[in-house]
């Protein structure tokens, strides 16, 4: 069994008060004794947070966000002994999130030049660049659009690095009144706060889901639905647990039906519930996910780009991704990729233009629910070199020139939004589905794909690493590479 190779998904503000989310002032903290640090403080599940808030104040901490619905407080303190001081009656767990920021690996964005955009002729969707969107034909998007292109009553939360509100393919697609920044675990609804600053990842994801059919650029899978930017990646390219908790809670309390999550939480790709440092993060995120599900939200997440068998976790030698990697051995299935492996979350693997598992895509029998196009720029050359047009074409935002455009990215970060877009079409056609029913419907309507025989390796000519992407698939109608199969846009609306 190979070790886990770290390849991430490709992948303070004005406080506004949302439903059940308030900015609360604690007692004035004592003179600073150390750097300001953020903590997650968990009250007993189902209980009130008042006792925990009182202990926070007594320990010289300040509550900056209170998620009373799930008993989680986001706290800042300069007290170097805060974690010890806050412990006691009314506090179930506490953890500093310092050092727990997970780097979002942008991967490479290959931009389409202005000349190429001008020369594009489009068809059959009337979008000029549709001919380069091989992924849309693969999941039968044109056929689906003849039946149902999506309802504006469906809102998809894109928990990511922000969405460009000026992009010509997205400007009409964004639910601005439901968009927010969750950086730091608190909310900021100003438009500038949820626009991209240092990353176009979220803009690319949003285009796959809902780019407009407007005679410009590309088409999204569900152009009739709305996307909401929920910015959880900070300007340094990191997502912290408190931002993810905020994102799930915001989606729950603002009428979202779906969220797309092309990241993982915690710089260790595997969050271990039996690890004292990581357990409070697991608990807080799990509470937020469960709450969102209770409010009618289906969360969809990318499986990861480590070519790792998530069903057989043995070692992790490449984490954390924000510092010096450590060697963790004898891991068990108590260690999970969050949010992808949280109960009730739909986990998506990636395929390339041949329809076979992308060389990088993680997998796992019983873990992967469905698969979708994520791109594979190496498959045609068996690993020798990259072909950018075999990645996924979508909307982009150049953070250097501050200009909108279109370009290619690949990763399970790209396959996830394909599944999310199909789910959005399904909800548009069947608006009364619960999250559980919708998840099951995606599985039942997926097109089954069998395991390849023997050891699978689509890139045997990769220079210097011919066996680096070997993988073995197991299972039958539901298997480790493809789950129940390829999502199908037409099947969910016909």
In sequence order, what are the beta bridge partners of 94? 41
Contact (CB, 8 A) for 296 and 275: no
Residues sharing a CB contact under 8 Å with residue 161, sequence separation 6 or more, in sequence order: 104, 196, 198, 199, 200, 201, 202, 203, 231, 232, 233, 237
Secondary structure percentages of the chain, helix, strand, coil, to 5: 25, 20, 55
Catalytic residue among 105, 135, 160, 266: 160
Q: Does the annotation count 177 as an active-site position?
A: no
From its phi and psi, is residue 126 left (phi > 0), alpha (psi between -120 and 50) or beta?
Answer: left
Pairing of strands 326-328, 316-319: antiparallel
- By residue count, the chain amounts to 494
Only one residue has tokens 């690949």, namely 410
Q: Does the annotation count 253 as an active-site position?
A: no
Only one residue has tokens 């037409």, namely 490
- 276-282 long-range contacts, CB within 8 A, separation 24+: 277/95, 278/95, 279/93, 279/95, 280/40, 280/42, 280/93, 280/94, 280/95, 281/40, 281/95, 281/97, 281/100, 281/241, 281/338, 282/336, 282/338
Q: At what angle do helices 241-253 and 279-294 cross, to 10 degrees?
A: 10
Contact (CB, 8 A) for 155 and 179: no
Catalytic residue among 161, 306, 358, 413: 413
- Residue 281 class from Cβ within 10 Å (0-12 exposed, 13-18 middle, 19+ buried)? buried
Q: How many CB atoms lie within 10 A of CB 331?
A: 16
The Cα–Cα gap between 96 and 88 comes to 16
C-alpha pair distances (Å), 417 with each of 135, 147, 148, 227, 410: 12, 21, 18, 11, 12
- 175-180 long-range contacts, CB within 8 A, separation 24+: 175/226, 175/227, 175/228, 178/226, 178/228, 178/254, 178/255, 178/256, 179/228, 179/229, 179/230, 180/16, 180/18, 180/228, 180/229, 180/230, 180/231, 180/250
Q: What are phi and psi of 46, to 5 degrees?
A: 85, -5
- Residue 143 class from Cβ within 10 Å (0-12 exposed, 13-18 middle, 19+ buried)? middle
Catalytic residue among 201, 204, 254, 418: 201
Q: Does the annotation count 201 as an active-site position?
A: yes
User: 275: closest CA among 226, 223, 330, 213?
Assistant: 330
Give the residue numbers marked as catalytic.
Answer: 160, 201, 413
């Amino acid at each position: 069994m190979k070790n886990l190779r770290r390849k991430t998904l490709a992948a303070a503000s004005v406080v506004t008060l949302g439903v059940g989310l308030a900015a609360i002032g604690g007692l004035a903290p004592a003179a600073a004794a150390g750097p300001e640090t953020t903590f997650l403080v968990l009250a007993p599940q189902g209980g009130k947070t008042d006792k925990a808030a009182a202990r926070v104040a007594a320990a010289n901490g300040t509550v900056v966000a209170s998620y009373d619905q799930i008993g989680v407080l986001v706290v800042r303190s300069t007290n170097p002994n805060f974690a010890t001081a806050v412990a006691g009656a009314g506090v179930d767990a506490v953890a500093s999130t310092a050092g727990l920021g997970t780097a979002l690996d942008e991967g490479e964005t290959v931009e389409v030049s202005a000349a190429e955009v001008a020369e594009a002729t489009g068809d059959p969707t009337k979008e000029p660049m549709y001919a380069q969107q091989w992924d849309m034909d693969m999941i039968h998007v044109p056929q689906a659009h003849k039946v149902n292109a999506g309802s504006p009553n469906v809102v998809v939360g894109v928990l990511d690095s922000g969405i460009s509100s000026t992009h010509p393919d997205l400007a009409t697609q964004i639910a601005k009144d439901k968009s927010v920044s969750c950086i730091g675990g608190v909310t900021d609804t100003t438009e500038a706060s949820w626009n991209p600053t240092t990353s176009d990842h979220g803009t690319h994801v949003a285009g796959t889901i809902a780019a407009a059919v407007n005679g410009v650029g590309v088409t999204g899978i569900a152009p009739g639905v709305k996307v909401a930017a929920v910015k959880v990646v900070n300007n340094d390219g990191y997502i912290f647990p408190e931002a993810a908790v905020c994102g799930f809670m915001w989606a729950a309390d603002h009428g979202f039906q779906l969220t797309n999550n092309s990241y993982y939480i915690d710089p260790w790709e595997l969050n271990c519930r039996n690890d004292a440092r990581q357990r409070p993060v697991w608990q807080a995120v799990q509470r937020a996910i469960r709450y969102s599900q209770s409010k009618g939200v289906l969360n969809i997440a990318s499986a990861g780009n480590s070519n790792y068998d998530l069903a057989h976790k043995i070692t992790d030698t490449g984490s954390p991704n924000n510092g010096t990697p450590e060697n963790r051995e004898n891991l068990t299935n108590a260690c999970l990729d969050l949010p992808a492996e949280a109960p009730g979350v739909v986990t998506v693997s990636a395929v390339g233009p041949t329809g076979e598992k992308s060389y990088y895509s993680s997998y796992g029998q019983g873990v992967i629910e469905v698969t979708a196009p994520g791109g594979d720029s190496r498959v045609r050359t068996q690993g020798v070199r990259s072909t950018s047009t075999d990645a996924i074409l979508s909307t982009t935002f150049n953070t250097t020139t501050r200009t909108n455009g279109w370009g290619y990215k690949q990763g399970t970060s790209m396959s996830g939004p394909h599944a999310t877009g199909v789910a959005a079409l399904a909800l548009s056609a069947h608006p009364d589905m619960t999250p559980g029913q919708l998840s099951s419907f995606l599985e039942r309507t997926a097109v089954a794909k069998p395991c390849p025989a023997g050891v699978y390796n689509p890139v045997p000519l990769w220079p210097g690493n011919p066996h680096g992407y070997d993988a073995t698939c197991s299972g039958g109608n539901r298997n480790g590479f493809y789950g129940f199969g390829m999502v199908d846009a037409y099947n969910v609306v016909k």
